[in-house]
Amino acid sequence: MVCQNTFTLNNGNTIPAVALGTWQSSEEQDVVYKAVKSALAAGYRHIDTAMMYGNEAEVGRGIRDGLKEAGLKREDIFVTTKLATIHARPSLVHKAFEDSLAKLDIEYIDLYMMHWPVALNPATGKLIPLREDGTRDLDEELNGQFEITWGAMEKLDKSKAKNIGVANFSIHNLERLLKTATVVPAVNQIELHPYLPQFKLLEYCKSKGIHCSAYSPLGSSNSTLLKDETLEKIAKAHDKSIAQVLISWGITRGSVLPKSVNPERVKSNIETFELSEKEIQEINDISKTHTQRFVKPNWGVPVFDEEF
């Protein structure tokens, strides 16, 4: 069954339960363009991108053409993009947002997120500036004050940025942010899967009214998750793929962003089903014997809960 579930955010707006993630989906040879079009045709109503993915223009083209071909209107879908770490200075936030909107060319953005609680030096013009020793070139002017970046995001035109949120925020950093925020983030996009279920972070976000979206819900490329015995057993019992089990488990906790450019996998990833309480618990228990974070850039500052 094509999943058309939605979640209500803390401001009353809604977010679709399943999105097409586009990280590492290339602009070349129409790869991401075709993936976005096939996603909209398959029933997806949420497309997720970011300035740092380098594919906003082609994602936008895929959205515009995909809407026409599917007979949909702009308001029928939800689009997320993100503020890059080199644009974290308050003076750069508005232009960065407008640049993303211009590349996407889709009237407005449903969710604009701070991609990381990290600011990198914007002076070099490079997406990930490095120092001579190979470490990340942190923005000394901002000095890690992501609260100020958030303050600038709060000032964005609400008719163009319908919701604002964060990504990769730990409990520690959310507590810092909420001390000064006048707008509570609508969403925290984080790595979530059975190897990294992040029970405490989910519970904390729930207590603050922050919705959690899961990136890498299938693990990463060549992840052993897709060969896990518990997941294999459940998949076999329902005649489903392990990816469908993972996504169906994921939407019991929040929204999920599986990524694929394969039209058949794009289509099957949104065909979710209901798991029993026993099966959900069995999947929850996987992390008791195996825990793993797949996405862990060395920013040079603490980011994840286990780093504080």
Q: Which residues participate in catalysis according to the annotation?
A: 53
Cβ-based neighbour number of residue 301 at 10 Å: 13
d(CA 61, CA 78) in angstroms, rounded, equals 15
d(CA 295, CA 220) in angstroms, rounded, equals 8
Mention every residue, 6+ apart, whose C-beta is less than 8 A from residue 267: 38, 42
Calculate the alpha carbon distances from 127 to 122, 132, 142, 259 in Å: 8, 16, 17, 22
Contact between 109 and 82 under an 8 Å Cβ cutoff? The reply is: no
**DSSP class of 191:** E
Q: Which amino acid is at 11?
A: N
d(CA 31, CA 26) in angstroms, rounded, equals 6
CA angle 184, 86, 201 (to 5 degrees): 35
